[in-house]
Chain A
Amino acid sequence: MHIVHRPEYGALMSEPLLQAVNLHCERDTRTLFRQLSFSILPGTVTRVEGPNGSGKTTLLRMLAGLNDAWAGELRWCGAPIASQREEFLRNMLYLGHRPGIKPLLTPLENLRALMAGRRPSPDAVLRQALQGTGLAGFEDVPCRNLSAGQQRRVALARLLIADEPLWLLDEVFTAIDAEGVKALEALLQQRAAEGGAVMVTTHHDLALPDMHRLTLGAGEASDER
């Protein structure tokens, strides 16, 4: 007898967290990808590659549920996402082009507000996360007085305290300095080692061993390892 089971909560998982089956997406009469299928396993970093306009951002927004204009099927832990949206959102962290940072609030207030809907954390933890992203001393300065890179780092501070197993990171390396990129690479690698799954789009050369690649082309898509 074949037993279909969903991974036990709390147990280390070997089934794919996220599965995409025959995704098809068009934008302004252009086919971005068709019959795109892939699986995201726990403990992996997947880089979505492709030239500008190949649909990297669209794909991540689709996966996050921000874009509805697509066909195909998305599964979370084996069951369609549409039937367990809340469950999926609880376990997914999306960072987009726009960092989600209020310029009028301080990094600490921003981080507190972003965590308020997920896992409220004491200020000490939030401050520690901000310091971890190199924002020590800037915790209480309004974000509009910070540089673009520093604002991005406020958003990235979430990654240091996030417990969502799936991270969808869209161009998170933008405006981050060389040292920051290195630290972020190390963080992604550590996350994979812990059992998390990361999907990332970037034009930086990521120096990660055993990184999966998902290549989107002009109208064609292929899934390579």
Chain B
Amino acid sequence: MNAETRPTVRLVRSSVGALAAMKGVFARDMKVAFRQRQDLLNPLLFFIMVVTLFPLGVSPEVSFLQEAGAGILWVAALLSVLLSLDHLFRHDFDDGTLEQLVLQPQPLFLLILAKTMAHWMLTGLPLVLLTPILGVMVHLDGNSIAVLCLTLLIGTPVLSFIGAIGAALTLGLRSAGVLLSLLIIPLYIPVLIFGTGTVAAAAEGAPVGAYLALMGAFLVLAATLAPFAAAAALRISLSNG
């Protein structure tokens, strides 16, 4: 290990800006995810399976599916996001990259914001992209499918942000799965109600602007506050770990 000759040690005055550091975190998470594609496929397969099994298990009647379709898709999307949450910080915690993340000089909540956005791009966004196909499968009409996609597009990042708090809180625990679900599900319920409510309103021909605005407010609230809470929870989990 031959070090290059360096000048005398000085105090470091400035470091990389927060935006560049966020980009670094985002890029690494994306790269790691694409090296392990089966982990990416799991939530998607779950989503497809649940939506496919419902008509088989309950009723293949067109009228039933038209009525329940949006709800089925929303519940399936919610559960598949929930399934993927444990991975959000777990691997980083185990291999020590999380320690290094916390020790970066940039504000931790911004780095977590970047991590959570990467998580959404890898789980929530593919679900939204799959929704039109599955929507046709459950006989939703074009207008309902469009509104459903829009609600999922606004709603799934909320699920990721809220989920990040739970994932950070349960990080130090050995079997975090059940506790994570118990903590997070109550917070997911309003998102689910407004998500499916929007589609129901659209199906009846009512204006959906107010619903979407409210969901947008959820997203703003989650994106601005959840990273702070998750950062605090991460520090606690690391302190005990």
Q: Which residues of A contact B (CB under 8 A)?
A: 7, 9-10, 12-13, 42, 64-69, 77, 86, 89-92, 94, 96-105, 109, 113-114, 116-120, 128, 132-134, 142, 156, 159-160, 163-165, 180, 183-184, 186-187, 190-191, 194-196
Partner of A100, one of B9, B15, B100, B238: B100
* Residue B4 CB within 8 A of the other chain: yes
On chain B, the residues within 8 Å of A94 by CB distance are 99-100, 103
Q: For chain A, what secondary structure do more than half of its interface residues adopt (helix, strand, loop), or is it mixed?
A: loop
Count chain B CB atoms within 10 A of each CB in A65, A113, A160 and give the residue with the most: A113
Are A90 and B1 touching (Cβ within 8 A)?
no
Query: How long is the Cα–Cα vector from A116 to B25 in the complex, in angstroms?
Result: 8
Structural contact, B239 and A66, CB atoms closer than 8 A: yes
Q: Give chain A residues whose Cβ lies under 8 Å from the Cβ of B106.
A: 117
Taking the closest CB of chain B, its distance from the CB of A211, in whole angstroms, is 18
What are some 30 contacts across the A-B interface (CB < 8 A)? A9-B10, A42-B9, A64-B103, A65-B102, A77-B11, A86-B105, A90-B14, A94-B103, A98-B95, A102-B91, A103-B95, A105-B32, A109-B28, A113-B28, A118-B104, A118-B105, A120-B20, A120-B24, A134-B1, A142-B35, A159-B1, A159-B3, A160-B3, A165-B9, A165-B11, A165-B12, A183-B1, A184-B1, A191-B9, A194-B9
- B33 CB, min distance to chain A CBs, angstroms: 9
Give the distance to chain B from A67, nearest Cβ to Cβ, in Å: 5
Chain B residue nearest to A8 (CB atoms) is: B11
Q: A9 to B28: give the CA distance in the assembly, Å.
A: 33
Question: How far, in whole Å, are A183 and B104 apart by their CA atoms in the complex?
Answer: 27
Contacts of A97 in B (CB 8 A): 96
